[in-house]
Amino acid sequence: MTTTPPTEELQERLAFAAANTMPCAKLALNWFGKDTFQPDHKSDGTPVTIADQSIETELRNRIANDFPDDGILGEEFPDKDGNNSYQWVIDPIDGTISFVQGIPLFGTMLACLYNGVPVLGAIAMPCIDELVYAANGLGCFHKVCEDDPKPARVSQVDQLDNALVNTTALTYFDSPQLRDLYIKIDHAAKYTRGLPDCYGFVLLATGRVDAVIEPNVSLWDIASVPPIIHEAGGISTDLSGKDTVHTKSIIAATPGVHKALLDMTSTIEKS
């Protein structure tokens, strides 16, 4: 089974992602920071909002209009089966806790899989008007406000002791082994920071942090990441080194820093 789509079809979907992810993400601004806004909660206790649902609905409608045979997997609504090898993955608000708390570092993540493998990714940060998007073999691009998009590249930092390593929160290092891992990384890295959710991947793809590690994720949290980071010159795997998004963890980094982190994390996955 091939995991490489026809170039023309991929270009069409990349153009779609570049044109539609940010406008849909900006729907969140209708509710962000409003005093009257109140979230609901899912069965697992995590918040969900009308903004999540509105963004996902709009993206689903636009995808269905332009690519009616493609499948769709979203965080908020049931899956739509497709009639071809493409499946879109939507995380309408990655960072719902930030959104609810009035912190402007949440975003919309859109990915497209081909036979189960990510071939396209986009991340839109509506409050700060930054968009990164990429497709396999077609490059990674960074667009800020109304400026023309520019090629995005990871930093040239290749040593962990000179690297800034980002994670969303210590909360997700939720076992003794993972806590020990975080402490080791904190001691080994030049800096560690807790910039939330998908914003870390935007910073990595544009050379402002050197690594992102997240030990507890779902498919829609990371489906867009491999095309973006690989096309920007970095590496993305799970904690055991597998290049897959069908997993519960992710390390994305510059090549040298990724190797150093993987040396520290691979034993965690096996234990």
DSSP one-letter string for 164-181: EEE-S-GGG--SHHHHHH
pLDDT at 271: 42
Which tens digits make up the pLDDT trace of 202-211?
999 999 999 9
Per the CB < 8 A criterion, the answer to whether 229 and 235 are in contact is: yes
pLDDT for 49: 77
121 forms beta bridges with 111, 134
The structure's pTM equals 0.94
Predicted pLDDT of residue 45: 43
**What's the pLDDT score for residue 76?**
83
Q: How many CB atoms lie within 10 A of CB 183?
A: 12
The reply to whether domains 7-151 and 160-270 share a CATH topology is no
Q: What confidence score (pLDDT) does residue 268 get? A: 66
Distant-in-sequence, close-in-space partners of 143: CB < 8 Å, separation ≥ 6: 18, 22, 130, 131, 132, 133, 149, 150
The yes/no answer on whether domain 160-270 falls in CATH 3.40.190.80 is yes
For the chain, domain boundaries: 7-151, 160-270
Query: Residue 270: what pLDDT?
Result: 44
Architecture of domain 7-151: 2-Layer Sandwich (3.30)
Compute and round to an integer the Cα radius of gyration of the chain: 18
Q: What angle do CA 67, 246, 40 make, to 5 degrees?
A: 75
Residues of the chain falling short of pLDDT 50:
43-45, 270-271
